[in-house]
């Protein structure tokens, strides 16, 4: 069983089943989300339609109330004869006629029961109608109410409804709140709005009755533009203050949004009237959505099982199709491991696995050829090692020979040969130890001194050197070996020697804010300005005849590779005066 689990065919079936299982879960989840979203969208759309219909019905009632208000405020011929409209209102018949006209105006309204009180007032004379009982003190109650000064100044447009306390006392009985509308009379006797006006009190029962048309389990509210709840349906126990503030702050006059109401996730549909300022919203708890769990579960289960069945069938089919050629490849590789490199045409089919088979046959032929070459090369290598051992020279032989020459020259008192041989021996030993090794500045200067000794003897004191180190501490600073020698060599061959006069090479080392600076300056022929820009970037001119064969571009490149592009060489020069090459390295000890 353990061996079966490791086969490609088993792993392919297992992988496909896993993929199909994931796809089945994804499809099932997608169906669940789609089903839930469809139901939610349908319920939200129904809720928006209900709220919209509710708004339209109440808007028609509001329009009718405003028409009554504006008719009474502007049409003076509505109430009485010319006698009634004269200098006084002492004509009793005209007054009765005006009162009947006002009551008839309320009576013909479709929403007459929602007119709590309609009061017409002009300079001490008033008439009233409406569902509430009247009193001769009603005008004073209205004019003393807090809302009177706020509403009397509105002479154009439509009034936004507000919810206020009832200003008409009736003993100890608690009176319902009202929604007042107020306009000054356009034909008042003295032209002062506070002395001539028409007052209409709308009962909030109009909105309560409208909410009763919604389904019984609905949660809905009618709210004024100031956030006061005028009427509510099944929402008395809910804290909707935050929700109302959010809805009133929105720029859109209608729509829906998610919200948390009473600790439940809900969707709220709302509609706001521009004229009256009234807003209606319905709260739709997500927990109350009509999900049919049985239908949903059976649908998801069928989809899941169907996906698994299709996936298992396809997995078995592809595993059989792929398993046979893979088995042939496995058998062929086993034969190659046993040393059989002969080609097998049966594994070279026309598909991708056949391409692998062709590569295996080519590989086996190349392995066979390489093994034959390796046997031949190994035999040649053994012969070459024997010859190299026979021709090998001990490296100490060269140093011992130079020491012998030095002692012979010492015996013969030839100091020139002694200096040259000693310097050359020291140079060869230092160069043999490594090229990119870091040494102290003192060791680098000692190495440079040996090189200068040889060059002075060669050029018969053509130049002199001056070395200045600003601080004794800098002698212990690290520098890459063979950094100064190529620069001094360049000063001799390219600066002093072509000038034909005695020269001086000045070497100075100093510190600048964590940087080691070493300059090599000569008083030779100098460098033309146009050549300075390309000198460090042109790596083609390397002096092969010199001792090191390392040009300035190579030194600069070597320093940048070790320390970074912020370090390296810089060149200053004036023709026939001087050339100064400055090395900048990070200061390290």
Taking the C-alpha atoms of residue 115 and residue 106, their distance in angstroms, rounded to an integer, is 7
pLDDT averaged over the chain?
76
pLDDT score for 87: 45
CA 214 to chain centre: 46
Q: How does strand 503-512 pair with strand 463-469?
A: parallel
pLDDT bracket for residue 581 (50, 70, 90): very high
Q: Spell out the SS3 assignment of 432-501.
A: HCCCCCEEEHHHHHHHHHHHHHHHHHHHCCCEEEEEEECCHHHHHCEEECCCHHHHHHHHHHHHHHHHCC
Give the pLDDT mean for 61-69.
Answer: 85
* pLDDT of 120 strictly over 60: yes
Domains 75-208 and 434-586 share a fold: no
- For residues 451 and 484, the answer to whether their CB atoms sit within 8 Å is no
pLDDT score for 481: 82
pLDDT score for 73: 81
Most confident of 25-29, 460-464, 516-520: 516-520
Q: Which of 431, 395, 402 is nearest to 548 (CA)?
A: 431
pLDDT tens for 215-255 read: 888 889 999 988 899 898 888 888 888 888 998 888 888 89
- For residues 509 and 517, the answer to whether their CB atoms sit within 8 Å is yes
pLDDT tens for 416-453 read: 566 666 666 665 555 555 545 788 989 888 888 877 87
pLDDT score for 394: 40
Most confident of 190-204, 268-282, 335-349: 268-282
* pLDDT of 548 strictly over 50: no
The CATH number assigned to the domain with range 434-586 reads 3.30.565.10
pLDDT score for 415: 61
Q: Which of 154-158, 216-220, 548-552 has the least mean pLDDT?
A: 548-552
Give the pLDDT mean for 185-202.
Answer: 80
Give the pLDDT mean for 270-283.
Answer: 90
pLDDT score for 419: 60
pLDDT score for 100: 66
**Which of the two residues, 109 and 34, has the higher pLDDT score?**
34
Taking the C-alpha atoms of residue 480 and residue 440, their distance in angstroms, rounded to an integer, is 8
pLDDT score for 516: 92
* pLDDT of 375 strictly over 60: yes
* pLDDT of 390 strictly over 60: no
Predicted structure pTM score: 0.49
Most confident of 319-323, 397-401, 525-529, 551-555: 525-529
Residue 257, φ and ψ in degrees, nearest 5? -155, 150
Most confident of 18-27, 52-61, 84-93, 291-300: 52-61
pLDDT score for 425: 60
* pLDDT of 121 strictly over 80: yes
- Give the single-character DSSP code of 288: G
3.30.450, 1.20.1300, 3.30.70, 1.10.1660: CATH of 75-208: 3.30.450
pLDDT bracket for residue 348 (50, 70, 90): low
Q: Where along the chain do its domains lie? A: 75-208, 341-390, 434-586
Taking each helix axis from N to C end, the angle separating 8-74 and 293-337, rounded to the nearest 10 degrees, works out to 150
* pLDDT of 95 strictly over 70: no
pLDDT tens for 467-521 read: 999 989 999 999 988 788 889 888 888 888 888 888 899 999 999 988 999 999 9
Residue whose token pair is 């212990």: 476
Taking the C-alpha atoms of residue 330 and residue 346, their distance in angstroms, rounded to an integer, is 13
Taking the C-alpha atoms of residue 178 and residue 65, their distance in angstroms, rounded to an integer, is 14
Taking the C-alpha atoms of residue 300 and residue 295, their distance in angstroms, rounded to an integer, is 9
């Amino acid at each position: 069983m353990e061996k079966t689990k490791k086969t490609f065919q088993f792993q392919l079936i297992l992988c496909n089943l896993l993929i199909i299982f994931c796809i089945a879960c994804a499809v099932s989840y997608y169906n669940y989300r789609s089903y839930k979203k469809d139901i939610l969208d349908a319920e939200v759309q129904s809720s928006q339609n209900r709220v919209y219909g509710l708004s339209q019905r109440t808007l028609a009632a509001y329009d009718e109330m405003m028409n009554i208000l504006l008719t009474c405020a502007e049409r003076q011929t509505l109430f009485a004869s010319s006698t009634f409209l004269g200098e006084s209102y002492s004509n009793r018949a005209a007054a009765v006629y005006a009162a009947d006209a006002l009551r008839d105006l309320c009576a013909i309204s479709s929403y007459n029961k929602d007119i709590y009180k309609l009061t017409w007032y002009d300079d001490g004379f008033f008439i009233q109608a409406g569902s509430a009982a009247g009193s001769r003190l009603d005008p004073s109650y209205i004019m003393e109410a807090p809302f009177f000064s706020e509403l009397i100044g509105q002479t154009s447009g439509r009034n936004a409804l507000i919810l206020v306390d009832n200003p008409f006392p009736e003993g100890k009985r608690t009176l319902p709140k009202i929604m007042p509308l107020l306009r000054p009379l356009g034909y008042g006797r003295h032209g002062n709005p506070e002395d001539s006006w028409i007052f209409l009190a709308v009962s909030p029962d109009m909105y309560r009755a409208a909410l009763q048309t919604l389904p019984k389990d609905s949660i809905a509210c009618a709210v004024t533009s100031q956030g006061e709840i005028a009427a509510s349906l099944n929402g008395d126990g809910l804290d909707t203050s935050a929700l109302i503030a959010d809805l009133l702050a929105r720029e859109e006059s209608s729509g829906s949004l998610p919200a948390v109401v009473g600790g439940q996730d809900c969707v709220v549909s709302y509609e706001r009237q521009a004229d009256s300022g009234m807003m209606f919203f319905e709260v739709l708890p997500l927990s109350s959505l009509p999900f049919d769990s049985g239908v949903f579960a059976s649908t998801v289960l069928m989809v899941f099982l169907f996906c698994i069945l299709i996936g298992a069938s396809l997995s078995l089919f592809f595993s059989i199709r792929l398993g046979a050629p893979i088995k042939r490849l496995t058998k062929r590789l086993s034969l190659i491991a046993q040393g059989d490199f002969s080609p097998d045409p049966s594994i070279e089919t026309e598909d991708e696995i056949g391409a692998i088979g062709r590569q295996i046959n080519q590989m086996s032929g190349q392995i066979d050829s390489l093994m034959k070459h390796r046997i031949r090369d190994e035999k040649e290598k053994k012969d070459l090692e024997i010859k190299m051992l026979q021709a090998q020279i001990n490296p100490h032989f060269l140093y011992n020979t130079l020491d012998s020459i030095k002692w012979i020259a010492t015996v013969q008192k030839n100091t020139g040969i002694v200096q040259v041989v000693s310097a050359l021996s020291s140079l060869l030993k230092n160069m043999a130890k490594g090229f990119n090794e870091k040494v102290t500045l003192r060791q680098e200067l000692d190495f440079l001194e040996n090189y200068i000794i040889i060059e002075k003897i060669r050029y018969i004191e053509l130049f002199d050197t001056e070395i200045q180190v600003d601080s004794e501490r800098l002698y212990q600073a690290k520098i890459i070996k063979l950094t100064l020698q190529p620069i001094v060599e360049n000063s001799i061959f390219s600066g002093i020697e072509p000038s034909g006069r005695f020269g001086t090479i000045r070497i100075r080392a100093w510190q600048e804010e964590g940087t080691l600076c070493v300059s090599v300056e000569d008083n030779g022929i100098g460098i033309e300005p146009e050549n300075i820009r390309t000198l460090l970037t042109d790596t083609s001119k390397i002096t092969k005849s010199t001792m090191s064969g390392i040009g300035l571009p190579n030194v600069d490149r070597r320093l940048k590779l070790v320390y970074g592009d912020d370090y390296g060489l810089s060149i200053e020069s004036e023709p026939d005066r001087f050339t100064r090459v400055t090395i900048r390295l990070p200061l390290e000890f």
